[in-house]
Amino acid sequence: MYCPIDILNWCKVLKYNKKELLGIVQLKFIGIHGMDEWILQSIGEKWRLWKQRLKVKYLKPDMPFEYLVKNTDERVIEEQWKGLLTFWLSEEGKLMAQKNLDDFAHVGMGSHLQTYLRKYLLVKLVFE
């Protein structure tokens, strides 16, 4: 459980867990020493995308919470999923999602962040 999904921000994932992940990656690949920052950024991005995919596929705000808890990917730890669902369904979570949409709407065309804009707009369309 290196990257719990109920942690809201990659910066809040324990440094120990990040070091463990980095060690695993370094054992599997030759010649990547000195690329620690890039590797951790890449893992952080994958972690965020994983949570986003879970949200798009499994979060149905009109369904009962108990249904949402049971209806998820088999790889997800139930306690973490409950925590993440609770946040997403809270007013704070909804406000944060809207703020993210608004922030990415201001990103200029041609930016590498345009990909994020498309993904967040997709999430918004799915839930409207």
Half-sphere exposure of 46 (CA within 13 A, CB side): 9
pTM for the whole structure: 0.76
Residues 6+ apart with CB under 8 A from 51: 5, 84
Summarised one tens digit per residue, pLDDT across range 86-103 is: 999 999 999 988 887 777
pLDDT for the residue numbered 128: 47
pLDDT bin (cut points 50, 70, 90) of residue 76 is very high
**Most confident listed range (30-34, 91-95, 117-121):** 91-95
Confidence of residue 31 (pLDDT cuts 50, 70, 90): confident
Helix then strand then coil, in percent of the chain rounded to 5, is 70, 0, 30
Average pLDDT for 67-81: 95
Q: What is the pLDDT of residue 18?
A: 93
